[in-house]
Amino acid sequence: MQPGYSRSRFLLIVAALSLAVAGAFIFLHVTSTGQSVSTGVDFEPVDKAAIERGRYLALAGNCASCHTTAGGRFMAGGVAFETPFGRIYSTNITPDKATGIGDWTGQEFLTSMRRGVRPDGKHLYPVFPYTAFTKVSDADIVALYAYLSSIPAVRQQATGNEISFPFNQRALMSFWKAMFFDEGVYEADISKSPEWNRGAYIVEALAHCGACHSPRNFLGAEKNDKALAGGEYTDNIPGGALRTWSAPNLTSAPNGLGLWPHEEVVDYLKNGINTYVETFGPMNEVIMNSTRHLSEDDVNAMAVYLKSLPAREEEYPADVRRTVLGMGRTVYNLHCGTCHLPTGLGDEESAPRLGGGSLVVQASNPASLINVILYSPQRPDPPLPTKRRKPMEEFQYLLTDGEIAAVASYVRSNWGNAGGEVTPEQVAAQR
Amino acid sequence: MHCEYPRTGVVPGRQLLIASALATILIFAGCSRQGDPGEPENSASPLRVRLMTGQQYSNTITDIFGADISNSVAPPLPPLARTDGLLASGAAFVGVTSDQIQQIQQAAATVAAKVVDEYHRDFLIPCQPAAQTAADATCAGAFLKEAGRLLYRRPLGESKVAGLVDVADTAADESSDFYAGLALALESMLISPEVIFIVDVAEPDPENPGRERLDAYSLASRLSFFLWNSAPDDELLQAAASGELHTREGLDRTVTRMLASSRLEDGLRAFFDDMMAFDEFASLAKDPMVYPMVTGATLADAREQTLRTIIDHVMTRNEDYRDLFTTRSSFMSMNLAALYGTPTTNGWVPYTFPESSSRSGLLTQVSFLAAHSHAVRSSPTKRGRAMRELFLCQNVPDPPPNVDFSALEDAGDVATARDRLKIHNTNPSCAGCHLITDPLGLGLENFDGAGGYRAMENGVELDASGELDGTLYDDVEGLARAMRDHPKLPYCLVNRMYAYGTGGPVSLKYDRAILDHFTGRFAGRGYRVPDLLREIAMSRAFSRVRPDLAAREISANASGVDASKLVVNQ
């Protein structure tokens, strides 16, 4: 999934970075840029087992989703990431020597993963989530390198990034890294089970779940004290336009994964559907390209780890006004309740449940819920098997901002939900 | 300002020429269709091909050849699928099978034979042939040219007329009968796809380079079928020919004339008959054992009563549309009097329900109450659904295919519908939809399945209290007021009327802004229907063509039928 940043913080970021520029240049004089990590890791010999293992790790890391455009050549890059700093394109990671990573040594590949530094010594932007990949083990990086070296080479020049000054100065990333980047392989917690540690390794390192599910600070770095407590990013809505999305809280918070039993987490990651929700929108590519291909043991381990996370909450919702609830109830009964049912519990043939466990409904930031109401949930392609009689319709033309805000507030305040009020302005921002 | 085509001619002197040119520009500028400045800038409607409805066919034949000829044939056009609340909108998505073409041909032959028979020929055919036993191209041409202009709703080209005359002459020579030949040529016109389908034709819009508008004759047809439910008359076609319809003032003059015409009542009756789904009366029947007072004539009069009420209210009195749902003014006939429990005289007479009566507005008239009930009992569900779908444009889903009615049928010893329908609340899958229908319908439980008043059911006093989208009520008058004041009520009328006028369902994706605009204007003018008709007819949206891509998208969304395939082989 694509990492992103709050647009609302853009001006603040510009101001902060401008002030930081001077300090950064001073800092740069005393900090070296990219040097390969001296680990003495052995990248030879390459055998089929290593390649196969690397293929599996690439699935766990969901490399293809970010490095393959829709209809494009596998791993040849070109996927655009919209950030407040500009548009950044993923690179070609096929073994083509001219345009890909065919000229990279294993050690250079390891350095990019571990330290976020290219072979030419320049810093990579953290859109490439090396803040997570730094935790990947040497052995797994070796396997990944073996696999990526084995896939067909594609001659495709990387699209130039469109980043404005001063953000287009890669050297500044040195300053950013000093503040927000902790380099180092994942270290197992010996007080926890091997299963828990395996789950933590996948979630925190390979699958880089925090890239979307963790809130970020004003400089775009993940907030460690709120890790996996829900984030926001920019991605496509049906039709291709870009909008803000909110990723749910994965901790044990009341509006997070604490609502889901272990087996429901497993079902969702493995099948894209569980009692509470069906995958839609940006999560589709995570399920379809990554987690559903993982072994039962690994998915189980991820669930064990996620279910162990202590509750972390981004924001506490405000109470919903009674007038808003009244209007919301009317809109719900007319347009939602016939499928989601008055109980909010849904039905396997009509619609998913909205009460008692829908993370999307209760997310602190209602952006994804609003997107679903406005544009209908974008389902995976090809679609997952379903018993639903018909897909949800879009309401962007039928309902006003006020009506959508009211019904979203109603849904977020009923059946045990406590997501708080949604405003018409929040709906308008998603149109 | 009087607008007409600028006259051309030789004017001596350069200054006069310049003055003339400037005057011409000013005339065009003054007559330019600027439209309502408040209308959304890009409003437009799709180019459509739609089948005439049966009533439109009959009205057209009546207007051109007379009611007796029209009445001699049943409209041969196929039934339409109700689409987005209107049969008229279904006309944009229907083809004609070969069997239906046969019926159209048989009706055409009957009409043509009547037109030329000895009882009609003298006043329907503007000339007499030199000899009745031979072809007469001049006389045939005179008739076919004028009849063709009215039937095709635009002038026929010379080659088209020549072809028709050739058909008439050949048949006349073969049969030695001028009128038989003329009838064959007329029959060929009456089965033409351009006659039985209303085909919108676009032309470049000089006021909006790169955009298109309806050509004048298509606009004339759209106006005529919208306001009169029939083909354009001679004067309207002349207005199209002169270019008047594409000027603001000319269009205003035409719309004013059409709104003042007695034919407006035909148009409004057709619209409200369609909007209220009164076509269902064709198959409506009540069990005579349960409702012995209700006959076919009673139900036919119930339909007529409501239409008379509507026309009187919105057209004759020009009153607030919303008050239709609370008005006590209506009409009474002998067939209905017994059901309403009131004395009356023969024929239709104005009637006002007393304040002590529970009859308050359209929802309490027999037509609505009986049409949305079972044959043997009332149905709060059907009535509630109809209220939402007909008057508020809200969709109530059909029951799921595997719905289990056993619990409802085995509800046990319950006295009232309210008790029986509580079963719905025990099953969430049922409750979702019944929550939006039953509470409304229960507000009308003081009326039985035939529309007769009752205070009790099975010895139990009826409770008509409930809630309509946040408005609480204690009785049927309260329900009527809640419906009258529902914000979606006028919006829904605007939606249906715009769809009816432009010949197909609205697309909220494209039409939301124009519907909001019309609704605002409707409110601003006190919810007067004639003003709404004028607003729609005069709008840019009514005559400006939406680009093809959007039209195709709407067509595909609304129906799987490809409207371009006018004739379908079985």
pLDDT digits (tens, 9 = 90+) for B88-112: 999 999 888 888 999 999 999 999 9
With H, G, I as helix, E, B as strand and everything else as coil, classify residue B49: strand
B569, pLDDT greater than 60 = no
Contact B432 A326 (CB under 8 A): no
Inter-axis angle of helices A401-411 and A367-375, nearest 10: 120
B48, pLDDT greater than 80 = yes
> How far is Cα A218 from Cα B382, in angstroms, rounded to an integer?
57
Q: How far is A274 from chain B (nearest CA, A)?
A: 20
With H, G, I as helix, E, B as strand and everything else as coil, classify residue A16: helix
User: Could you give the residue ranges of the DSSP H alpha helices within B379-454?
Assistant: 380-386, 406-409, 417-426, 428-442
Give chain A positions within 8 Å (CB) of B400. Answer: 349-350, 389
Amino acid at B58: S
What number is the average pLDDT over the span B516-529?
A: 97
What is the pLDDT at residue A44? 75
Please name the member of B388, B431, B509 whose beta carbon is closest to the beta carbon of A341. B431
Q: How far is B70 from chain A (nearest CA, A)?
A: 42
What torsion do the CA atoms of B557, B563, B565, B570 make, to the nearest 10 degrees?
70
pLDDT digits (tens, 9 = 90+) for B266-288: 999 999 999 999 999 999 999 99
Contact A333 B397 (CB under 8 A): no
Q: How far is A256 from chain B (nearest CA, A)?
A: 26
Q: Give the distance from CA B478 to its chain's centroid.
A: 30
Tokens, residue A73: 């050549």
B170, pLDDT greater than 50 = yes
- Residue B27: band (very low, low, confident or very high) from pLDDT cuts 50, 70, 90: very low
| Residue A206 or residue A36, greater confidence | A206
| Exposure of B492 in the CB half-sphere (CA atoms within 13 A) | 24
Amino acid at B34: Q
> How far is Cα A424 from Cα B14, in angstroms, rounded to an integer?
64
B373, pLDDT greater than 90 = yes
| Exposure of B408 in the CB half-sphere (CA atoms within 13 A) | 15
- Helical (H) or strand (E) element with B202: strand B202-204
What is the pLDDT at residue B549? 52
Give chain B positions within 8 Å (CB) of A349. Answer: 400
pLDDT digits (tens, 9 = 90+) for B209-223: 989 999 999 999 999
What is the pLDDT at residue A315? 66
Question: Which long-range contacts does A26-32 make (Cβ < 8 Å, 24+ apart)?
Answer: A27/A174, A27/A175, A27/A178, A28/A171, A28/A174, A28/A175, A31/A174, A31/A178
- Residue B477: band (very low, low, confident or very high) from pLDDT cuts 50, 70, 90: very high
What number is the average pLDDT over the span A397-416?
A: 93
> How far is Cα B49 from Cα A361, in angstroms, rounded to an integer?
44
What is the pLDDT at residue A37? 56
**B376 in A contact zone (CB under 8 Å):** no
Give chain B positions within 8 Å (CB) of A375. Answer: none
Mean pLDDT of chain A, nearest integer:
86
Hey, which residues does B49 pair with through a beta bridge? B199
What is the pLDDT at residue A61? 96
Name every residue whose Cβ is closer than 8 Å to that of residue A420 and which is 6 or more positions away in sequence.
A316, A317, A318, A319, A320, A364, A409, A412, A413
Inter-axis angle of helices B248-260 and B234-242, nearest 10: 180
Is the sign of the CA dihedral B165, B167, B170, B172 positive or negative? Answer: negative
B1, pLDDT greater than 80 = no
Give strand ranges (E) for B236-380.
329-332, 349-352
Hey, which residues does B332 pair with through a beta bridge? B349
Tokens, residue B465: 């209290």
> How far is Cα B344 from Cα B332, in angstroms, rounded to an integer?
7
B6, pLDDT greater than 50 = no
Contact B450, B288 (CB under 8 A): no
> How far is Cα B64 from Cα B121, in angstroms, rounded to an integer?
13
What number is the average pLDDT over the span A126-149?
A: 94
pLDDT digits (tens, 9 = 90+) for B298-333: 999 999 999 999 999 999 999 999 999 999 999 999
pLDDT digits (tens, 9 = 90+) for A39-81: 577 777 778 889 999 999 999 999 999 999 989 999 999 999 9
Give strand ranges (E) for A214-260.
231-236, 242-247
B518, pLDDT greater than 70 = yes
Contact A343 B433 (CB under 8 A): no
What is the pLDDT at residue A15? 41
> How far is Cα B88 from Cα B276, in angstroms, rounded to an integer?
12
B16, pLDDT greater than 60 = no
Q: Which of A329, A338, A340 to mutate to test the interface with B (most CBs of B within 10 A)?
A: A338
Contact B432 A334 (CB under 8 A): no
- Length of chain A in terms of residues written: 431
pLDDT digits (tens, 9 = 90+) for A356-405: 778 888 888 999 999 999 999 988 888 888 887 888 999 999 999 999 99
A10, pLDDT greater than 50 = no
Neighbours of B201 (CB within 10 A): 15
Tokens, residue B98: 């070969």
Contact A347 B396 (CB under 8 A): no
Please name the member of B394, B431, B508 whose beta carbon is closest to the beta carbon of A342. B431
Tokens, residue A94: 């096929």
B85, pLDDT greater than 70 = yes
- Residue A220: band (very low, low, confident or very high) from pLDDT cuts 50, 70, 90: confident
> How far is Cα B27 from Cα B6, in angstroms, rounded to an integer?
7
Share of chain B above pLDDT 90, in %: 76
What is the pLDDT at residue A166? 80
A345: nearest CA in chain B? Answer: B428
What number is the average pLDDT over the span A196-219?
A: 94
Q: Which of B84, B469, B507 to mutate to test the interface with A (most CBs of A within 10 A)?
A: B469
Mean pLDDT of chain B, nearest integer:
88
Tokens, residue B428: 């969430």
> How far is Cα B150 from Cα B251, in angstroms, rounded to an integer?
20
Contact A276, A353 (CB under 8 A): yes
What is the pLDDT at residue B130? 94
> How far is Cα A343 from Cα B32, in angstroms, rounded to an integer?
57
Residue A116: φ, ψ to 5°? 70, 40
Contact B432 A330 (CB under 8 A): no
Tokens, residue A271: 């099948």
> How far is Cα A77 from Cα A54, in angstroms, rounded to an integer?
19
Name every residue whose Cβ is closer than 8 Å to that of residue A366 and which is 6 or more positions away in sequence.
A246, A408, A412, A419, A422, A426
> How far is Cα B504 from Cα B49, in angstroms, rounded to an integer?
9
The structure's pTM equals 0.82
Q: Give the distance from CA B163 to its chain's centroid.
A: 34
B205, pLDDT greater than 90 = yes
